[in-house]
Every structure is written in C-alpha cells, then in structure tokens.
Structure 1
C-alpha cells in the first residue's frame, strides 16, 4: 500500500513539475515574441520619422518652397520657420513622426537625439527662409547630417545593434 501511495505521489509530482516547466517555457516564448513585436514597432516608427525628416528637408530645398521665419520666442538668436499651405503637410508629417517615435522608444538618449535632429532640420528651414537653397551655409547641413547619424546610432543602440561610423 505504501509503495502505491509513494508511486502515485511521485507521478503527481512529475506531472506538476512538467506543468510548471511548460508554463515557464510558454512565458519565455511570449516574452520573446513581445520583445520582437516592440522592436519591430520601434524600428517602423523611427524609420517613418527619418523619412518624414528627409521629406521635410527636401521640401525646404525646393526652389519653389515658400518659407518665412520669425525670431523664436524662447530661444534668443534662433528663428522659427513657417510654411505656406504647400509646405504645411511636410511640417505636420515631421511633427507626427517625431511624436510617434517618442511614444515607442525606451531610452532618453534616443529622444534627445531625435530632438536634436528635428532642431537641425528646423535650422535648415529657417536658413532657407532668408536665402536661396544654394546659399545655405554648409555648416548647417553638416550639423543636420551629424544629428541624423547620431539619431541613427541611438536607434541602433535601442535595438541592440552596434553603432555605425559616420560616412563621409
């Protein structure tokens, strides 16, 4: 009788242990899938933000673009660019992409790099408001491309990838 009880208890313990291990493995698989989905979402949003920023700059450099600029109310020495109805969708797409990116990234340095990237694009637009696209100082573009590279590297860090060296 004792052997039967012990055998039953061992079998029951084996079933319970097997159930716990199965639950643990299922939880790990769910966690991996959840992380993969969020990684894909982050990559998509950051890619859309990069594309919106590029379209914004491309519009700014269009010779037909109509841009005005006024002094920034909170940043002395800076200008705020304003667009006509043709350019407004580019500005709105940039702002929407920026907000979407901020909603999904986890690291503060990624957000800071995104803020710098947007500010550098706005500086290009403000410079364009006061001169032709050919007369924008090359330093303005250098700082824009550096900000873009810094943002890309911040996103790569966010995704667990190594930084890339700046391409000439």
Structure 2
C-alpha cells in the first residue's frame, strides 16, 4: 500500500511539474513573440517616420531652391549669428510639414544618434533656405551644400543602423 501511495505521489508530482514546465515554456515563448512583434511594429513606425521626414525635407529643400520662392531671413532668436528663414504663404505648408516630420522623428527615434543626425540635417537645410533669401538658387555657397550632403548621409547611416539595416556606404576613413 505504501508502494502504491509513493508511485501515485511520484506520478502526480511529475505530472504537475510537467504542466508547470509546459506553462512556463508557453508563457516564455508568448512573451518572446510579443517582444518580437512589438519590435517589428516600432521598426515599421520608425521607417514610416523617417520616410516622411526625408520626403518633407526634400520638398522643403526643393521649394527653397525654386527660383520663384519668396524667402525672408532674420537673425535667429536663440543664435543671433545664424539666420532663420521665413516663407510666404506658398512656402508655409512645406515648412509646416517639415516641422511636423521633425517632431515625429524626435518622438520615435530609439537612438540619440538618429535624432542628432536629423537635427543636423534640419539645421543645414535651414541654412540653405536662409541663404536663398539673399542669393539666387545658383549663387548659394557650395560649402552649404557640401555640409548638407554630409548631414544627409549621416542621417541615413544613423537611421539604417537604428533600423538594423546594413551600412551600404564606405566608412569616412575609406573615402
């Protein structure tokens, strides 16, 4: 009788341990799937935000370089040595879309490098727009464009890194 009790207790204990182990493994797998799905959703959100930002940036820059654009500039309230561009009613939607896209990037960026690279790209783009207030589109200093393209590349590299995409450009040392 004590043998039947020991066998029954052992069988019950092992069954209970199997159920507990199975439940724990199932919960762990569900949590891992949830994390992967959550990461995928945020990756898609970031990709969409960065695409929207780059689209708004290209439209803003295209407007700033349009020969018919009316742009005014005045000293920045925060940085008196820099000029802030101001657009007329035709250019205002480009500026507003760009500003909204900037806020979205700042909101969804997971890495500081991406947000910093976006800020630099914004600053460089604004400098070109401010220069356009006093120059024709052909007379804007080439150094401003060189700085813009470098900032553009830095943003793309940072965004690709954050999105876990391979770097497709050679490093700065290789160039």
Mapped partners of 2:168, 2:63: distance in 1: 27
What does residue 55 of structure 2 align with?
Answer: 51
Q: TM-score, normalised by structure 2?
A: 0.91
**2:170 is the alignment partner of 1:160:** no
Name stretches of at least 5 consecutive residues in structure 1 with no aligned partner.
none
Q: Which residue of 1 aligns with 2:11?
A: 7
The 5-angstrom pairing of residues 1-168 of structure 1 reads: 1-165=5-169
Q: Deviations over 1:94-129 (max 9, x none)?
A: 100000010001111111111100000101100100
Greater Cα shift, 70-79 or 35-44:
70-79
Which stretches of structure 1, 4 residues or longer, exceed 3 Å deviation after superposition? none
May I ask how many residue pairs the two structures share in their alignment?
A: 167
Q: CA deviation at 1:77?
A: 2.5
Task: Summarize deviations over 1:61-93 as a string: whole Å, max 9, x none.
Answer: 111110000122222321110000000000001
How far apart are the structure 2 equivalents of 1:74 and 1:6? Answer: 76
CA RMSD of the aligned region, Å?
A: 1.4
Q: What SS does the corresponding residue of 2:42 show, helix, strand or coil?
A: helix
Q: Equivalent residue of 2:155, what SS?
A: helix
Segments of 5+ residues of structure 2 without an aligned counterpart are none
The structure whose Rg is larger is 2
**Whole-Å separation in 1 of the counterparts to 2:77 and 2:24:** 61
